[in-house]
Structure 1
Amino acid sequence: MADGINRFLGDSPARTVVKLVVVSLIVGFVMSIFGIYPIDILDGVRDFFFDLWHKGFAALGRIGDYLLLGATVVIPVFIVLRLLNSRA
Protein backbone atom coordinates (compact mmCIF):
# COMPACT_ATOMS: atom_id res chain seq x y z
CA MET A 1 0.00 0.00 0.00
CA ALA A 2 2.80 2.43 0.87
CA ASP A 3 4.43 1.71 -2.48
CA GLY A 4 1.18 2.69 -4.26
CA ILE A 5 1.00 5.96 -2.33
CA ASN A 6 4.63 6.75 -3.10
CA ARG A 7 4.04 6.01 -6.76
CA PHE A 8 0.94 8.24 -6.80
CA LEU A 9 2.68 11.14 -5.06
CA GLY A 10 5.95 10.72 -6.92
CA ASP A 11 7.93 10.61 -3.66
CA SER A 12 7.39 9.87 0.02
CA PRO A 13 4.44 11.67 1.63
CA ALA A 14 6.68 13.77 3.92
CA ARG A 15 8.89 14.97 1.04
CA THR A 16 5.81 15.71 -1.06
CA VAL A 17 4.31 17.84 1.73
CA VAL A 18 7.57 19.78 2.11
CA LYS A 19 7.73 20.40 -1.65
CA LEU A 20 4.11 21.57 -1.72
CA VAL A 21 4.68 23.95 1.21
CA VAL A 22 7.77 25.48 -0.44
CA VAL A 23 6.07 25.90 -3.82
CA SER A 24 2.97 27.36 -2.12
CA LEU A 25 5.10 29.94 -0.31
CA ILE A 26 6.85 30.97 -3.53
CA VAL A 27 3.62 31.21 -5.53
CA GLY A 28 1.90 33.10 -2.70
CA PHE A 29 4.79 35.57 -2.51
CA VAL A 30 4.75 36.20 -6.27
CA MET A 31 0.96 36.60 -6.29
CA SER A 32 1.24 39.07 -3.40
CA ILE A 33 3.81 41.13 -5.31
CA PHE A 34 1.45 41.42 -8.28
CA GLY A 35 -1.59 42.09 -6.09
CA ILE A 36 -3.44 38.96 -7.12
CA TYR A 37 -5.70 37.39 -4.51
CA PRO A 38 -7.68 34.13 -4.67
CA ILE A 39 -11.02 35.96 -4.70
CA ASP A 40 -9.86 37.88 -7.80
CA ILE A 41 -9.20 34.60 -9.59
CA LEU A 42 -12.60 33.20 -8.62
CA ASP A 43 -14.33 36.43 -9.71
CA GLY A 44 -12.45 36.33 -13.00
CA VAL A 45 -13.56 32.76 -13.70
CA ARG A 46 -17.16 33.59 -12.78
CA ASP A 47 -17.14 36.72 -14.96
CA PHE A 48 -15.65 34.74 -17.85
CA PHE A 49 -18.54 32.27 -17.79
CA PHE A 50 -21.17 35.01 -17.41
CA ASP A 51 -19.70 36.92 -20.37
CA LEU A 52 -19.51 33.73 -22.42
CA TRP A 53 -23.16 33.00 -21.61
CA HIS A 54 -24.41 36.47 -22.54
CA LYS A 55 -22.23 36.97 -25.61
CA GLY A 56 -22.99 33.46 -26.80
CA PHE A 57 -26.70 34.20 -27.04
CA ALA A 58 -25.95 37.53 -28.71
CA ALA A 59 -23.91 35.64 -31.31
CA LEU A 60 -26.87 33.33 -31.95
CA GLY A 61 -29.03 36.40 -32.52
CA ARG A 62 -26.51 37.72 -35.04
CA ILE A 63 -26.49 34.36 -36.82
CA GLY A 64 -30.24 34.67 -37.25
CA ASP A 65 -29.76 38.16 -38.70
CA TYR A 66 -27.13 36.84 -41.12
CA LEU A 67 -29.44 34.00 -42.10
CA LEU A 68 -32.29 36.34 -42.96
CA LEU A 69 -30.01 38.76 -44.79
CA GLY A 70 -28.50 35.98 -46.89
CA ALA A 71 -31.89 34.43 -47.55
CA THR A 72 -33.12 37.67 -49.13
CA VAL A 73 -30.53 37.11 -51.86
CA VAL A 74 -30.19 33.33 -52.03
CA ILE A 75 -33.89 32.38 -52.19
CA PRO A 76 -34.78 34.63 -55.17
CA VAL A 77 -31.64 33.53 -57.05
CA PHE A 78 -32.51 29.88 -56.34
CA ILE A 79 -36.06 30.37 -57.64
CA VAL A 80 -34.85 32.13 -60.80
CA LEU A 81 -32.29 29.39 -61.50
CA ARG A 82 -34.90 26.65 -60.97
CA LEU A 83 -37.30 28.41 -63.33
CA LEU A 84 -34.60 28.78 -65.98
CA ASN A 85 -33.62 25.09 -65.65
CA SER A 86 -37.20 23.87 -65.82
CA ARG A 87 -37.73 25.54 -69.24
CA ALA A 88 -34.71 23.91 -70.78
Structure 2
Amino acid sequence: MERFFGGNPGLVLVRLAILSLVVGVLLAALGFSPFDILRSLQQLIQRIYDLGWTAIEKAGRYFLLGAVIVFPVWFIARLLKMLGRGARGDLIDVNPKREA
Protein backbone atom coordinates (compact mmCIF):
# COMPACT_ATOMS: atom_id res chain seq x y z
CA MET A 1 0.00 0.00 0.00
CA GLU A 2 2.84 2.40 0.78
CA ARG A 3 4.19 1.97 -2.71
CA PHE A 4 0.86 3.07 -4.23
CA PHE A 5 0.42 6.06 -1.91
CA GLY A 6 4.07 7.09 -2.05
CA GLY A 7 4.54 6.81 1.69
CA ASN A 8 2.56 6.04 4.81
CA PRO A 9 -1.11 6.01 3.68
CA GLY A 10 -2.32 7.77 6.83
CA LEU A 11 0.16 10.64 6.45
CA VAL A 12 -0.57 10.95 2.75
CA LEU A 13 -4.32 11.22 3.44
CA VAL A 14 -3.71 13.89 6.11
CA ARG A 15 -1.55 15.89 3.68
CA LEU A 16 -4.21 15.60 0.97
CA ALA A 17 -6.91 16.74 3.42
CA ILE A 18 -4.89 19.81 4.47
CA LEU A 19 -4.06 20.67 0.85
CA SER A 20 -7.74 20.28 -0.13
CA LEU A 21 -8.76 22.62 2.68
CA VAL A 22 -6.24 25.29 1.60
CA VAL A 23 -7.20 25.05 -2.08
CA GLY A 24 -10.90 25.14 -1.10
CA VAL A 25 -10.41 28.35 0.87
CA LEU A 26 -8.57 29.96 -2.05
CA LEU A 27 -11.24 28.95 -4.58
CA ALA A 28 -14.03 30.16 -2.27
CA ALA A 29 -12.23 33.50 -1.96
CA LEU A 30 -12.19 33.72 -5.77
CA GLY A 31 -15.92 33.01 -5.91
CA PHE A 32 -15.90 29.41 -7.11
CA SER A 33 -18.14 26.68 -5.79
CA PRO A 34 -17.89 22.92 -6.32
CA PHE A 35 -21.19 23.00 -8.20
CA ASP A 36 -19.86 25.66 -10.59
CA ILE A 37 -16.84 23.52 -11.36
CA LEU A 38 -18.96 20.40 -11.91
CA ARG A 39 -21.39 22.34 -14.11
CA SER A 40 -18.49 23.73 -16.14
CA LEU A 41 -17.05 20.25 -16.63
CA GLN A 42 -20.46 18.97 -17.70
CA GLN A 43 -20.82 21.82 -20.22
CA LEU A 44 -17.31 21.15 -21.54
CA ILE A 45 -18.07 17.48 -22.10
CA GLN A 46 -21.40 18.36 -23.75
CA ARG A 47 -19.72 20.84 -26.11
CA ILE A 48 -17.00 18.35 -27.07
CA TYR A 49 -19.69 15.72 -27.68
CA ASP A 50 -21.71 18.15 -29.81
CA LEU A 51 -18.63 19.12 -31.80
CA GLY A 52 -17.88 15.49 -32.51
CA TRP A 53 -21.37 14.77 -33.82
CA THR A 54 -21.43 17.99 -35.79
CA ALA A 55 -18.19 16.99 -37.49
CA ILE A 56 -19.58 13.54 -38.28
CA GLU A 57 -22.79 15.08 -39.62
CA LYS A 58 -20.83 17.47 -41.86
CA ALA A 59 -18.63 14.63 -43.12
CA GLY A 60 -21.75 12.63 -43.94
CA ARG A 61 -23.24 15.53 -45.86
CA TYR A 62 -20.01 16.00 -47.83
CA PHE A 63 -19.96 12.27 -48.58
CA LEU A 64 -23.53 12.32 -49.88
CA LEU A 65 -22.88 15.45 -51.92
CA GLY A 66 -19.89 13.83 -53.61
CA ALA A 67 -21.59 10.45 -53.96
CA VAL A 68 -24.41 12.02 -55.99
CA ILE A 69 -21.81 12.72 -58.68
CA VAL A 70 -19.16 10.04 -58.19
CA PHE A 71 -21.31 6.90 -58.08
CA PRO A 72 -23.39 7.59 -61.22
CA VAL A 73 -20.24 8.57 -63.17
CA TRP A 74 -18.50 5.39 -62.00
CA PHE A 75 -21.55 3.29 -62.91
CA ILE A 76 -21.82 4.82 -66.39
CA ALA A 77 -18.08 4.36 -66.95
CA ARG A 78 -18.37 0.68 -65.98
CA LEU A 79 -21.32 0.19 -68.33
CA LEU A 80 -19.47 1.85 -71.20
CA LYS A 81 -16.40 -0.25 -70.54
CA MET A 82 -18.41 -3.45 -70.55
CA LEU A 83 -20.26 -2.52 -73.75
CA GLY A 84 -17.25 -1.24 -75.68
CA ARG A 85 -14.62 -3.89 -74.94
CA GLY A 86 -12.12 -4.72 -77.62
CA ALA A 87 -10.17 -7.96 -78.02
CA ARG A 88 -7.95 -7.29 -74.98
CA GLY A 89 -10.74 -5.79 -72.88
CA ASP A 90 -9.76 -2.20 -73.64
CA LEU A 91 -12.30 0.41 -74.55
CA ILE A 92 -10.54 0.84 -77.89
CA ASP A 93 -9.11 -2.13 -79.69
CA VAL A 94 -5.50 -1.05 -80.09
CA ASN A 95 -4.20 -4.04 -82.06
CA PRO A 96 -7.09 -5.49 -84.00
CA LYS A 97 -6.35 -8.93 -85.42
CA ARG A 98 -6.94 -8.81 -89.11
CA GLU A 99 -7.30 -11.93 -91.07
CA ALA A 100 -5.27 -11.82 -94.22
Structure 1 segment 11-50 matched on structure 2, within 5 A: 11-50=7-46
Identical amino acids, percent of aligned pairs? 35
Using the TM superposition, name which of 28-37 and 41-50 deviates more: 28-37
Structure 2 Cα separation of the partners of residues 55 and 21 of structure 1: 37
Give the aligned partner of residue 65 of structure 1: 61
Q: Offset of 1:42 from its aligned partner? A: 1.1
* TM-score, length basis structure 1: 0.63
Structure 1 Cα separation of the partners of residues 64 and 9 of structure 2: 63
Amino acid at match of 1:62: K
Q: How many residues align?
A: 84
* TM-score, length basis structure 2: 0.58
Q: Offset of 1:73 from its aligned partner? A: 1.6
1:81 equivalenced with 2:80 (yes/no): no
Runs of at least 5 residues in structure 2 that lack an aligned partner in the other structure: 85-90, 92-100
Using the TM superposition, name which of 46-55 and 67-76 deviates more: 46-55
* Higher helix proportion: 1
